[in-house]
A and B are shown apart, each in its own frame.
Chain A
Amino acid sequence: MVSIFVDGRFMGETSEPEKMAANIRMKRRSGAIPYQINVAYNKHLNEVRILTDSGRVRRPVIIVENGVRKLTKDLMDKLNKGEINWDHLVKTGIIEFLDSEEEENTLIAMHDSDITKEHTHVEIDPSVILGLSASFIPYPEFNRGDRVNYGAKMVGQSIGVFASNLLSRADTKSNFMIYPNKPLVKTNAYDILPYNSHPNGNNVVIAIASFDGFNMEDSIVINAGSLQKGLLWSYMVRSYEAEQKRYLGGQEDVIGIPEAGVRGYAGEDAYKHLSEDGISNPETSLESDQVIIGRISPLRFLGTMDRFVTGLENIRETSLRLRHGDHGIADRIFVTDTTDGTKLIKVLVRDLKIPEIGDKLASRHGQKGVIALIVPPEDMPFTENGIVPDIIFNPHGIPSRMTIGQLLEILGGKVAALTGKYINAPAFSSSSEKELREMLREAGYRNDGMEVMHDGRTGKMYEGKIFMGSAFYQKLDHLVSNKIHARSRGPVTLLTKQPTEGRSKEGGLRLGEMEKDCLIAHGASLALKERFDSDKSTISICSECGLVAMTDKIKNKKICPIDGESKIVDVEMSYAFKLMLDELKSMLIYPKLVVKED
Chain B
Amino acid sequence: MSEQSQKTSNELPPKLMGEVEVVVKEKKLNKANAEKLLERIKLEYAKSKFEPAESIGIIAAQSISEPATQMTMRTYHFAGTAGIRVTYGLPRLIEIFDAKKEPETPMMTVYMKREHNNANDAAKLAEAIIEKRVVNVIDKISINLNENSVELEILDKRKSDSIEKVISGNIKNVTVKGRESKIIVSMKVEDIKELQKLKEKILALQVSGIKGIKNALVRKEGEDWIINTIGTNLSDALSIKEVDEKKTYTNSIHETATVLGIEAARSVIIREALRTMQEQALDIDVRYVLLVSDIMTFSGDVSSIGRYGVAGAKTSILARAAFEETIKHLVRASIRNEVDTLQGVFENVMIGQVIPAGTGMFDLIVKPDEEK
Contact residues of A with B, CB < 8 Å? 516-518, 520-526, 528-529, 532-533, 535-536, 572-574, 576-577, 580, 584, 587-590, 594
Contact = CB atoms under 8 A, between A and B. Distances in A.
Contact of B355 (A518, A528, A580, A587): A528
Contact of A529 (B331, B333, B360, B361): B360
A146 to B, nearest CB: 13
Contacts of A517: 58, 61-62
Contacts of B330: 584, 587, 589
Given A517-B58, A517-B61, A520-B58, 7 more contacts: A520-B55, A523-B51, A523-B357, A524-B358, A528-B355, A572-B352, A577-B352
Contacts of B355: 520, 525, 528-529
Contact of A536 (B59, B352, B354): B352
Interface in B323-341: 327, 330-331, 333-334, 339
Contact of B334 (A576, A590, A594): A590
B21 to A, nearest CB: 36
B334 A574 contact: no
Nearest to B53: A523
Contacts of A588: 334
B64 to A, nearest CB: 13
Interface centre among A520, A528, A533, A588 (most CB of B within 10 A): A520
Contacts of B361: 525
7 tightest Cβ-Cβ pairs between the two chains A and B: A523-B358, A525-B360, A574-B352, A589-B334, A525-B358, A577-B351, A521-B58
B54 interface: yes
A460 B331 CA distance: 78
B59 A526 contact: no
Contacts of A535: 352
Nearest to B62: A521
B350 interface: yes
A523 B352 contact: no
Nearest to B341: A594
A84 B355 CA distance: 81
A149 B95 CA distance: 35
Given A584-B330, A589-B330, A523 B55 contact: yes
A394 B351 CA distance: 50
Nearest to B358: A523
Interface centre among A521, A573, A588 (most CB of B within 10 A): A521
Interface centre among A517, A533, A587 (most CB of B within 10 A): A517
A590 B59 CA distance: 36
B10 interface: no
Contact of B349 (A521, A528, A589): A528
B359 interface: yes
B138 interface: no
A533 B331 CA distance: 29
A574 B354 CA distance: 12
B229 to A, nearest CB: 35
B360 to A, nearest CB: 3
Nearest to A575: B352
A520 B352 contact: no
Contact of A524 (B334, B350, B359): B359
A521 B57 CA distance: 8
B12 interface: no
B350 to A, nearest CB: 6
A533 B352 CA distance: 7
**Interface residue range, chain B:** 20 to 34
Contacts of B59: 521
B353 A529 contact: yes
A238 to B, nearest CB: 38
B358 A529 contact: no
A577 B330 CA distance: 14
B264 interface: no
B351 A520 contact: no
Interface in B200-233: none
A529 B359 CA distance: 11
Nearest to A525: B360
Contact of B352 (A524, A529, A584, A590): A529
Contacts of B358: 520, 522-525
27 contacts: A517-B58, A517-B62, A518-B62, A520-B58, A520-B345, A520-B358, A521-B58, A521-B62, A522-B358, A523-B51, A523-B53, A525-B357, A526-B360, A529-B360, A532-B352, A533-B352, A536-B352, A572-B352, A572-B353, A573-B351, A573-B353, A574-B350, A576-B350, A577-B350, A577-B352, A588-B334, A594-B339
A524 B349 CA distance: 12
A535 B54 CA distance: 27
B50 to A, nearest CB: 11
Contacts of A573: 351-353
B360 A521 contact: no
Contacts of B357: 520, 523, 525
Contacts of B350: 574, 576-577, 580
Interface in B32-91: 51, 53-55, 58-59, 61-62
Contacts of B352: 529, 532-533, 535-536, 572-574, 576-577
A522 B54 CA distance: 8
Nearest to A522: B358
Contacts of A589: 330-331, 333-334
Nearest to B58: A521
A525 B54 CA distance: 11
Nearest to B54: A523
Contacts of B62: 517-518, 521
Interface centre among B54, B55, B333, B356 (most CB of A within 10 A): B55
B105 to A, nearest CB: 31
Nearest to B61: A517
B59 to A, nearest CB: 5
A374 to B, nearest CB: 35
Contacts of B339: 594
Nearest to A580: B350
A430 to B, nearest CB: 31
A67 to B, nearest CB: 36
A516 B358 CA distance: 13
A525 B359 contact: yes
Nearest to B347: A577
A533 B354 CA distance: 10
A528 B357 CA distance: 11
A516 B359 contact: no
Given A516-B349, A521-B55, A529 B354 contact: yes
B55 A526 contact: no
Contacts of A572: 352-353
A577 B354 CA distance: 15
Nearest to B352: A574
A517 B330 CA distance: 24
Contacts of A590: 334
B325 to A, nearest CB: 15
Interface centre among B62, B345, B358 (most CB of A within 10 A): B358
